[in-house]
Amino acid sequence: MAYKKLLDKLRQFLAADQAAQRKELDSIRKVTKKLKSKARELGAKLEETLPGEEHAEIAAKLEIIEAQRSKALKLIRELRSGRDQEKAERPPGS
């Protein structure tokens, strides 16, 4: 996985103001939602499909979506922990 890319993103995120940070998180949630709905759709199709070539293809598509969703979750986690850490390091009242 491209951790360097994730860390760069995190650095950019922390440098951005709060409004931008919120937009960023909203976008991740929006894309994750699309992925989730696609995964649900494919899952239902997979159940209806008999084992065979088409079944294997749908399973492959699901695996791709899972990999993308796990990337998204990791990103959200990193962003949140980075934000919490930043809050903790900030002097009180600032």
Partner 1 sequence: MTRRILLTILFMGLGYGLWLSPSFKEIAAGVALFLFGMLSLERGFRSFTGGTLERVLRASTNRLWKSISFGIVSTTLMQSSTLVSLVTISFVSAEMITLAAGIGVIMGANLGTTTGAWLIAGLGLRVDIAAYAMPALVFGVVLLLQDSRTLKGLGYIAMGVGFLFLGIAYMKSGFDAFTQVFDLSAYAIPGFAGVLIYTGIGMAVTVIMQSSHATLLVIITALATNQISYDNALALAIGANLGSAVTTAIGGMTADLGGKRLAIAHVFFNLLSAVVAISLIHQVAWTVDYLAALIGIGADDHLLKLALFHTLFNLLGVILIAPFTFQLAAALERYVRFAPKPMEQPRYLYAGALETPGTAISALRKEVGRLYDNAYDLIARGLSLERALIDSDQSIKDAVRATQRIMPLDVDDVYERKIKSLHSAIIAFISETQGRGLEGASAEQLYELQQASRNIVAAVKGMKHLHKNLSRHAMSASPVVREPYDRIRAQIAKLLREIQQIRTQEAETVTSLSLDALKLSLETSSQQFTADLNERLRGQRLAPTVATSMMNDEAYSFEIGERLIEAAKALLQPGSVHDEAVENMLALDDEDIAQIAERQSHANPQGAHHGLQETTR
Instruction: List contacts with partner 1 (CB under 8 A).
Output: 1-2, 5-6, 9, 23-24, 26-28, 30-31, 34-35, 37-38, 52-57, 60-61, 63-65, 67-68, 71-72, 75
Residue 71 Cβ vs partner 1, minimum distance, rounded to whole Å: 5
Residue 91 Cβ vs partner 1, minimum distance, rounded to whole Å: 30
For partner 1, the closer of residues 2 and 88 by Cβ is 2
Please give the helix or strand (H or E) that residue 14 lies within, else none.
helix 3-15
For partner 1, the closer of residues 5 and 89 by Cβ is 5
For partner 1, the closer of residues 24 and 82 by Cβ is 24
Residue 18 Cβ vs partner 1, minimum distance, rounded to whole Å: 14
Asked if 24 and 13 touch (Cβ cutoff 8 Å), the reply is yes
Token couple for 93: 């009242």
Q: What is the DSSP code string of 61-87?
A: HHHHHHHHHHHHHHHHHHHHHHHHHHH
The residue whose two tokens read 């002097």 is 91
The residue whose two tokens read 């492959």 is 60
